[in-house]
Structure 1
Amino acid sequence: MPSPLPPRAVFAMDPVHLPLLFPPALMARLRKACDLDPALVVRDFADPVSAAALSEAEVLITGWGCPHLDADALAAAPRLRAVLHAAGSVRSLVGEALWQRGITVSSAVTANALPVAEYTLAMILLAGKDAFTHRERFRATHTYPTQALTAPTGNVGRRIGVIGASRVGRRLLELLRPFDFTVLLHDPYVSPAEAAELGAELLSLEDLLRHSDIVSLHAPDIPETYRMLDGDRLALIRDGGVLINTSRGALIDPEALTDELVSGRLHAVLDVTEPEPLPAGSPLYHLPNVFLTPHIAGSLGNELERLGRIVVEELERVVAGMPLGHEVRWADLGRVA
């Protein structure tokens, strides 16, 4: 019997990402697994050319810049059976209409978690050395710090509080294992025994904040976590403590955080903020105790290839009739990113 025809696949994303997501070797592997026009990248589901492609699509390969897959978009894709997302969260991409259709969804969120965890580890180590403060002092005085100034500095026995055993949080916990840290964890879905297996002590959120030198935020952006670090909880962090946020700005009350940072009581490493980006007049751009980066912790540059590789592997599983390795389920979206 002749082999079945490969599934028709269509890209839906900002085309600027394609070369890094699918460099030549990966693109060749992708085209071997499916019927795909690499020059056709959908940005608008209502566009006539896009609509014609969607009417035949069995697999949609999505990424940053893909429009929301609402009921109208799905109606234009009657043959669609799988959405393979070459990025992290699918929360803003898919809705109830997709799940009602029984369409399978996969995400490269696991691959995207790795650089976020690596960035966080780097910031924890630098914060433990008080590198940002010493850099500012060195720029201003051109002198080396005295022993009195460096006495509180170092990474031996630092208490690291991780909020959220998400994919990023769990990967960070793995990366923290070789270091001489005491690791604390807060996650309402994790038991004390599981936390111990992850190398951490499970605490309430309030106790974690009270007992941590460095707090790193890895909870999902869901209604239950909105402003989870409000003024009262930020006040629990010890004087001179460091707050790292690579999750979402909405998890922290921005006014309360600004007050704490302007006062100089806390230090912060912020890869995400609310709003994002901050307005030009925000004091956080100029505070010596704040290290701001422009949402770079996630996959950038050559790290995007890892996301593309997951999509190719998932497509090969679809073709082979195998279960997906990174399937996203509707029931999980209430507590994951």
Structure 2
Amino acid sequence: MHDRPAALFAMNPENLPLLFPPPVLDRIVQLVRIDTEMVVQDFTRPAAAVALAEAEFLITGWGCPRLDESVLDAAPRLRAVLHAAGSIRGLVTEACWERGLIVSSAVHANALPVAEYTLAVILLAGKDVFALRERYQREPVYPPVLDLINQGNNGRRIGIIGASRVGRRVLELLRPFDLRVSLHDPYVDEAEAAALGARLLPLDELLRTSQIVSLHAPEIPATYRMLDRERLALIPDGAVLINTSRGSLIDPVALTEELISGRIGAVLDVTEPEPLPGDSPLHHLSNVFLTPHIAGSVGNELARLGGTVVAELEHLTAGRPPSHQVRRTDLTHVA
């Protein structure tokens, strides 16, 4: 089928079989002409330059070079960038918008595992599992019931910061549970928050009244250090802060001081810097649970991202608009 449009993979080659296992890759081959053995990380290589000049679709992932003017000048037929990952901020440049390229992202598919991770740690934090595990290792006896009087998820107050794609999935997953959920998001009104199953609150009030705070705001200039020293101090004693967004949203010095004091606890899948240096005290605090940026898609979850790209290709090759298009104006309030 020589009338099929040409496409090119541009990403870290190690990720290709994870994002596009054989059944997914077979669907791509049926839709476009693509060399499945060529996965580009340098567009200036001769073979890559030839393929780029013919490509109408660029299928990108982690490790793709930034799409600046020089890349686009070498890709005169390119009409769409289909990103098999989340944020396109580090990939797409102003030149892409000026060129009128269609840009699509699998960020919605990546939101599900982050939301699942968040649900799990909210429920575990509500039972004080992280702190009790540490205590049980030191004192292998069943703790008295009176010690557990403040534990449990019946009516626990949960504060969600950001009705992002992840934040909305978290709110959806929380609905079956007997929790009292609040939301802060400057782009959401009270009616929409209620439809999402939450009470809309100003950020400071949410922090003051939540026993578990989960951060799902995008990394944009307006959210840099949104949880600074003063706002961290608003979080009640004994509360737990969860961050699966980006480390830059929290003042790392102030957070470290709060956690060293033992006043609050934290579940941190992202930090600043990332990874934390080996001598960071957060590695050794019993009130801190660290994971190595795994809330997003890992392992077999990556194929879900590849499947999203295939669905977008099916739409575009059939002359239909993509389902998950990212527009220039979206970047003012999404990652």
Normalised by the shorter chain, which TM-score bucket? Answer: over 0.9
**Matched residue count:** 335
CA distance in 2 between counterparts of 1:143 and 1:16 reads 46
Match of 1:48 in 2: 46
CA shift digits 1:12-45 (9 cap, x unpaired): 0001111111111111110000001000000012
CA shift digits 1:217-269 (9 cap, x unpaired): 00000000000000000000000110000000000000000000000001000
Name the SS of the counterpart of 2:137 in structure 1: helix
Q: Following TM superposition, by how much is the alpha carbon of 1:150 offset from its aligned partner in structure 2, in angstroms? A: 0.9
Match of 2:240 in 1: 242
Counterpart amino acid of residue 278 in structure 2: A
Match of 2:152 in 1: 154
Match of 1:203 in 2: 201
Match of 1:26 in 2: 24
Q: After TM superposition, list the pairs within 5 Å mapping 1:1-337 onto structure 2.
A: 5-337=3-335
Name the SS of the counterpart of 1:80 in structure 2: coil
Q: Following TM superposition, by how much is the alpha carbon of 1:208 offset from its aligned partner in structure 2, in angstroms? A: 0.2
Counterpart amino acid of residue 200 in structure 1: A
Q: Following TM superposition, by how much is the alpha carbon of 1:173 offset from its aligned partner in structure 2, in angstroms? A: 0.3
Which one is further off, 117-126 or 15-24? 15-24
CA distance in 2 between counterparts of 1:275 and 1:70 reads 27
CA shift digits 1:45-99 (9 cap, x unpaired): 2222211111111100000111111111111111100000000010111010000
Counterpart amino acid of residue 265 in structure 1: R
Name the SS of the counterpart of 1:55 in structure 2: helix
Instruction: State percent identity of aligned pairs.
Output: 67
CA distance in 2 between counterparts of 1:28 and 1:56 reads 21
CA distance in 2 between counterparts of 1:273 and 1:45 reads 32
CA distance in 1 between counterparts of 2:246 and 2:69 reads 28
Structure 2's unaligned 5+ residue stretches are none
Name the SS of the counterpart of 2:316 in structure 1: helix
Q: Following TM superposition, by how much is the alpha carbon of 1:4 offset from its aligned partner in structure 2, in angstroms? A: 7.5
Structure 1's unaligned 5+ residue stretches are none
The CA RMSD measured in Å over matched residues stands at 0.8
Length-normalised TM-score, structure 2:
0.99
Q: Following TM superposition, by how much is the alpha carbon of 1:148 offset from its aligned partner in structure 2, in angstroms? A: 1.6
Q: Following TM superposition, by how much is the alpha carbon of 1:149 offset from its aligned partner in structure 2, in angstroms? A: 1.1
CA distance in 1 between counterparts of 2:12 and 2:221 reads 28
Runs of 4+ in structure 1 deviating by more than 6 angstroms, as ranges, are: none
Length-normalised TM-score, structure 1:
0.98
CA distance in 1 between counterparts of 2:262 and 2:36 reads 52
